[in-house]
Amino acid sequence: MGEPAILKNKDRLALAKDLVACLEDGRESDASRVLGQLGGGHEGQLYREVGCLTRELHETINCFVHESNLADIAHSEIPDAAERLAHVIRMTEDASNTTLSAVEDAMPLAQVLSNDSRRLVDALERLQRPDNDDLDCLAVGKDLESFLRDTQANADALNTRLSQVLMAQEHQDLTGQIIQKVIELVRDVEAKLIELVRLSGARKLQPGNSHKGDRKSDTGVHGPIVPGVDKVDGVTDQDEVDDLLSSLGF
């Protein structure tokens, strides 16, 4: 159908008079036809404008989705990010376990050093009493030699464990980098969501309108408080816990 011409006022007046004539004569189908002609121009214009807007919005959204890689973000980057964070948990857990193993080995060694030292000090003190004899000296001498050899071995073993603890800390650098990447993705998604909200013409959501609060209160737990981020009525250290409990009589 070709573009109907926009009706001028004198044409409309002519059509209106024609309409009245049809109606007065009872010519219903003619009246309907004239009515169609009268309104047709405007209806067409309305349809054209709505069609135009719809196309524009459609193109803008398509353009946005394409340029902002939303499909990529949804199908691969976000699942990737989740896997990256799961990996970080595994790395930090491994590092903790390595450190704990080194500590579990090292503590008994330190204990042995301490115990043996104490025993030898006692033996040496006894030696200094007037009633000691040469056999005692010899025995303590042997004991001392044996202790010093053990100590050297134990010190070396402790050194090795401490090195293991040192190296286990390297995870922090690696996990830090991985987390940094995820932070970038989160900021990217944030920017795109804001843009999408703007594009769709929605009123900017006021913080607090959203249901974030409901989600958290589902289980009642909050997890560790992150300074600068979490704003909950919480205590900051053990002393505050103790004060709170004793003020209530517990």
Partner 1 sequence: MKILVVDDFSTMRRIIKNLLRELGFTNTHEADDGTTALPMLQNGRFDFVITDWNMPGMQGIDLLKAIRADDQLKHLPVLMVTAESKRDQIVNAAQAGVNGYVVKPFTAITLEEKISKIFERLAA
Q: Measured from the CB of residue 249, what is the shortest distance to partner 1 in angstroms?
A: 9
In this complex, which beta carbon is closest to partner 1, that of residue 135 or of residue 232? 232
The residues binding partner 1 (CB under 8 A) are: 93, 96-97, 100, 103-104, 107, 219-225, 232-238, 241, 244-245, 248, 250
In this complex, which beta carbon is closest to partner 1, that of residue 130 or of residue 223? 223
- For 218, residues 6+ apart whose C-beta sits below 8 A from its C-beta are none
Q: How far apart are CA 90 and CA 169, in angstroms?
A: 14
Q: Measured from the CB of residue 107, what is the shortest distance to partner 1 in angstroms?
A: 7
Q: Measured from the CB of residue 82, what is the shortest distance to partner 1 in angstroms?
A: 17
> Quick one: which of 166, 165, 161, 168 has its CA closest to 109?
161
Distances, alpha carbon 94 to alpha carbons 99, 168, 175, in Å: 9, 8, 12
Q: Measured from the CB of residue 142, what is the shortest distance to partner 1 in angstroms?
A: 32
Q: How far apart are CA 4 and CA 43, in angstroms?
A: 10
Provide the 10 A C-beta neighbour count for residue 14. 13
In this complex, which beta carbon is closest to partner 1, that of residue 49 or of residue 104? 104
22, 31 contact by CB (below 8 A): yes
Token pair for 184: 């970038």
In this complex, which beta carbon is closest to partner 1, that of residue 176 or of residue 234? 234
In this complex, which beta carbon is closest to partner 1, that of residue 208 or of residue 223? 223
